[in-house]
Chain A
């Protein structure tokens, strides 16, 4: 049987529109058959050529139906040129392995591609080492504190003080880890001109920002899990304990949330600022501004009061305190509960929780002193930063 496109001329000469339609349908079938089970990349040359052929076939049918014979001959000529080459090329494509997972290459999947690259590059090199170092230090201090430091009593009060101080340093380290992971995500791509090729991929600006954030989250998550696992295993091997059971989950989770919040601030700064140095500076400034812990723990109060919350006086304090309180909540979980009741003055927020737990009057606990509240506020901070970063980056010219 001859190829259908070779019959086109004869069909046209026969002055029978039905015959021409049958022939164009045979061409369509031949093309469909050639493409069946073949791997195609959306938007590729072959896909476009197929689209063009189908369009030309439709025009040919249309011209025949309208008795526009010159136009029909012209279209038939185009079909004879396009179809055999297309069928030939399609047959050369790799067949699809039905069992192989085929990604759609959609924007969300492509955001995942960006995330994957960010995560891989994020844990490599100096930055990755620093990240692991910071988080390892944090967990080392935290676990040491959980195991011994904060349980020290009486004559060992100075030991307790040292470990509380170490806690506060670790608190500084966590936002640093976030800033380190997020500070060059966008502007570093601009500086190295890699942004041009990235932004020319079928991913979209929002996909790029989302992918970068996901990559950073994956990097931080991996670093937190690895550091916590390593330090926890070592501590357990030496002492046979990891402190209160809840600490093993809550503590790393709190670290992750805190680092991710500051990483998101750094991501936003990296879309707004051209250079990475100022981005880091902005991140640090945010940390200082948002961390009333400094005012609370270092500047105006004693280290012993690091676990207290400032009197709720303003919205700003409520917005900012989660960073502090989230940390303090988990750090207190590491120590025996009766330690919290021994705190001197003021009304430590966790004391309210302890009382509530002891008396069974959980409803008495103010919402702002509950863990979900802090989780929600941290999530809100992340969402706002991510949303702003996407909105800013979407409008930017990548000249």
Chain B
């Protein structure tokens, strides 16, 4: 009995341009229903990786599969399972939104009333019904992005690849796009690249952080954002006369007091935090709040690389 392959898989991908390795030995895999983030600064190799997966760029070494189909050898089958939103959305300016989607529909063997039905639904989903008959040349960046997303979703693909989908959008556009990605990610496998780590942090189940074409780390986002050693914010009902003295408690590594009743505590592990609470309660203090601090993905990136994203 053969095993089902991962919707997105890549092994040892390398893309070399002259003397420059845009990506080097990159492997990745995304499971069904997973939103995988491909994160890193500009020039990290995110777009190149995506273009290799979509079949736009030929890898110098390594192989990739979409839905079990080899991207180079079975490109057409692989792309049948794929919806792609490029970083720079190029659309035919002369076509109307409706004509563009009809064009995409034909690539998936759909035409006539069936295509019309689907196009109407998609245009409504991306809030472009009113603009259906307008030439794309008159569209704003956000509208183009939404139309391109509708095109990527036309055939209801199990794999969606989004290259920097939030770049260049206004705040409302970002919120809507994030909602869309979140919703799409519930049903299908989504690979999303971004250099704006904070923007996609809440969307991704897992993240691969790239720098200079190499994978720095690959882990669930919850794991990446977890601080090690753990850090807690502790609030007491009454002021603490000597917060620094708490470093004597077992497992407490450092204390930073933002005020006399609010402390940031770095401990060796979760048990040490419990011990600290016990210690305070025994000392007659009332602990109001104890919350584990998590770092943002951006902070994680800085911690991992020492470089600001």
Contacts and interface: CB of A to CB of B under 8 A. Distances in A.
Nearest to B112: A100
Contact of B90 (A52, A110, A194): A194
B200 to A, nearest CB: 21
A202 to B, nearest CB: 5
Given A192-B90, A397-B58, A398-B56, A201 B158 contact: no
B247 interface: no
Contacts of A97: 113
Task: List the 10 shortest-distance A-B pairs measured between CB atoms, nearest first.
Answer: A193-B90, A105-B109, A43-B80, A194-B90, A200-B84, A113-B106, A398-B56, A196-B86, A44-B156, A43-B81
Interface string A275-310: 000000000000000000000000000000000000
Contact of A42 (B58, B80, B88): B80
A46 interface: yes
Interface string A31-48: 000000001011111101
Nearest to A102: B109
Given A46-B156, A125-B94, 7 more contacts: A41-B110, A45-B156, A103-B110, A117-B92, A124-B94, A201-B79, A399-B51
B155 A41 contact: yes
Interface of A: 39, 41-46, 48-49, 52, 55, 58-59, 62, 94, 97, 100, 102-105, 107, 109-110, 113, 116-117, 121, 124-125, 189, 192-197, 199-204, 395, 397-399
Contacts of B155: 41-44
Contacts, number: 133
A197 B1 contact: no
A103 B114 CA distance: 12
A227 B80 CA distance: 40
Given A44-B155, A197-B86, A197-B151, A204 B76 contact: yes
Nearest to A51: B4
A48 B158 contact: yes
B4 A195 contact: no
A367 to B, nearest CB: 42
A205 B215 CA distance: 30
Contacts of B104: 201
A337 to B, nearest CB: 48
B191 to A, nearest CB: 13
Nearest to B110: A41
Interface string B69-88: 00000011101111010101
Contact of A103 (B82, B91, B111): B111
A59 B1 contact: yes
B93 to A, nearest CB: 8
Interface of B: 1, 4, 7, 32, 48, 51, 54-58, 67, 75-77, 79-82, 84, 86, 88-95, 103-104, 106-114, 117, 148, 151, 155-158, 187-188
28 contacts: A41-B109, A41-B156, A44-B155, A44-B157, A46-B156, A48-B67, A52-B32, A55-B4, A58-B1, A59-B1, A100-B113, A103-B111, A105-B108, A105-B110, A117-B103, A121-B95, A192-B90, A193-B90, A197-B86, A197-B89, A197-B148, A197-B151, A200-B54, A200-B79, A200-B84, A201-B107, A398-B51, A399-B51
B156 A202 contact: no
Contact of B92 (A100, A110, A194): A194
A104 B114 contact: no
A11 B1 CA distance: 22
A124 B93 CA distance: 12
Contact of B107 (A49, A94, A203): A203
A194 B7 CA distance: 26
B56 A116 contact: no
Contacts of A399: 48, 51, 56-57
Contact of A196 (B56, B80, B95, B106): B56
Nearest to A100: B112
A134 B279 CA distance: 93
B111 to A, nearest CB: 6
Contacts of B114: 39, 94, 100
Contacts of A59: 1
B157 A199 contact: no
Contacts of A62: 1
A39 B67 CA distance: 21
Contacts of B90: 189, 192-197
- Central interface residue in A62, A110, A193, A196, by most chain B CB within 10 Å: A196
A128 to B, nearest CB: 11
A200 B82 contact: yes
B76 A197 contact: no
A204 B51 CA distance: 15
A103 B106 contact: yes
A58 B111 CA distance: 35
Contacts of B117: 94
Contact of B157 (A45, A110, A193, A398): A45
**A103, A195, A395, most chain B CB atoms within 10 A:** A103
Given A44-B155, A196-B84, A110 B55 contact: no
B84 A42 contact: no
B151 A202 contact: no
A200 B95 CA distance: 19
A44 B110 CA distance: 13
Contacts of A196: 54, 56, 84, 86, 88, 90
A55 to B, nearest CB: 5
Nearest to A399: B57
A117 B106 CA distance: 11
A331 B188 CA distance: 63
Contacts of A41: 108-110, 155-156
A198 B96 CA distance: 16
A145 B43 CA distance: 62
B83 to A, nearest CB: 8
Contact of A194 (B80, B81, B91): B91
Contacts of B111: 103
Nearest to B154: A41
